[in-house]
């Protein structure tokens, strides 16, 4: 991958193949605390998503990268919003390339034309009530054909190549756009009410019937957006219920 200059980044590392860029960020910060670093891989052999799910990361078919936030001035005041924020800036970047409608699915997915095109994985380490670092992992599908996806996700996954394009796909340019948007819009993380309003305007299934599957019993209701802590608001017959984690899916009426 071509060299790109990134503001606010102290170290940039590119790998042909690696187990996981998030895992590499965790190894790096043990030796180099207090730095912001960027890790990009052409292929991940053990890419992962939320809840330890596998994230399929074939060679040069997508953008697989992690941003380590080690500088304390970039620690979010509202850590629970970081995943939602990262989804929003990914939407901003992708819209520079595609005419498709890009939307956000709570809590960490990016959709385009109604199919999943990317996902976010946030990891952090704390010492007591003090954060030591945050790792922001992002995977975006760029070139995959439908047959490249696993059978169980083939009908719900897409790649940038299969959307209406405004310009040619160039991985370094997309990476640069993502990093640029991440730091450019950071003030939203300090204004949770304004951020939630903007995130909800881009949310898939807002005010639609949904189901949230979690470790507890599935919850059904109408998705009413998120609160300023990033919790999903589900309107049920008993009133609004907030949910911290789970898998959101559309439920036909």
The pLDDT tens digits for 39-48 are 999 999 987 6
Instruction: Give me the mean pLDDT over the 161-165 stretch.
Output: 94
Instruction: Show the tokens assigned to 86.
Output: 């990262």
The position carrying tokens 């960027």 is 38
Average pLDDT over residues 7-23: 95
pLDDT of residue 250: 87
Element (H, E) at 176: helix 171-184
SS3 167: coil
Residue 115 neighbours by CB under 8 Å, 6+ apart: 156, 157, 158
pLDDT of residue 7: 85
For residue 173, count CB atoms less than 10 angstroms from its CB and return exposed for 0-12, middle for 13-18, buried for 19 or more. Answer: middle
Q: Which long-range contacts (CB under 8 A, 24 or more apart) does 5-10 make?
A: 6/38, 6/176, 6/179, 7/183, 8/36, 8/71, 8/74, 8/183, 9/36, 9/37, 9/38, 9/179, 10/35, 10/36, 10/37, 10/70, 10/71
Render pLDDT for 178-231 as a digit per residue (tens, 0 to 9).
999 999 999 999 999 999 999 999 999 999 999 998 766 789 999 999 999 999
Q: What is the pTM of this model?
A: 0.93
Taking the C-alpha atoms of residue 52 and residue 55, their distance in angstroms, rounded to an integer, is: 9
The confidence score (pLDDT) of residue 214 equals 73
Strands 239-243 and 232-236, sheet pairing: antiparallel
Strands 11-18 and 37-44: parallel
Q: What is the pLDDT of residue 4?
A: 60
Average pLDDT over residues 3-18: 88
Domains of the chain: 11-201 (3.30.930.10), 209-250 (2.30.30.100)
């Amino acid at each position: 991958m071509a060299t790109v200059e990134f503001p606010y980044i102290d170290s940039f590392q590119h790998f042909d193949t690696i187990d996981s860029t998030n895992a590499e960020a965790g190894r790096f910060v043990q030796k180099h605390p207090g730095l912001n670093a960027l890790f990009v891989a052409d292929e991940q052999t053990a890419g992962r998503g939320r809840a330890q799910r596998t994230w399929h990361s074939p060679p040069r078919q997508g953008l697989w990268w992690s941003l380590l936030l080690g500088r304390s001035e970039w620690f979010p005041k509202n850590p629970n919003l970081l995943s939602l924020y990262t989804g929003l800036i990914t939407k901003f970047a992708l819209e520079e390339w595609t005419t498709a409608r890009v939307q956000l699915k709570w809590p960490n997915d990016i959709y385009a034309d109604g199919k999943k095109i990317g996902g976010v994985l946030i990891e952090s380490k704390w010492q007591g009530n003090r954060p030591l670092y945050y790792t922001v992992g992002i995977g975006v599908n760029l070139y995959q054909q439908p047959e490249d996806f696993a059978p169980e996700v083939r009908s719900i996954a897409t790649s940038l190549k299969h959307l209406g394009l405004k310009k040619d796909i160039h991985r370094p340019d997309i990476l640069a756009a993502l990093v640029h948007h991440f730091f450019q819009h950071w003030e939203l993380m300090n204004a949770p009410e304004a951020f939630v309003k903007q995130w909800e305007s881009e949310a898939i299934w807002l005010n639609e019937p949904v189901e949230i599957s979690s470790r507890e019993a599935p919850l059904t209701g109408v998705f009413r957006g998120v609160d300023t802590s990033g919790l999903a608001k589900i309107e049920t017959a008993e009133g609004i219920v907030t949910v911290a984690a789970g898998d959101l899916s559309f439920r036909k009426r």
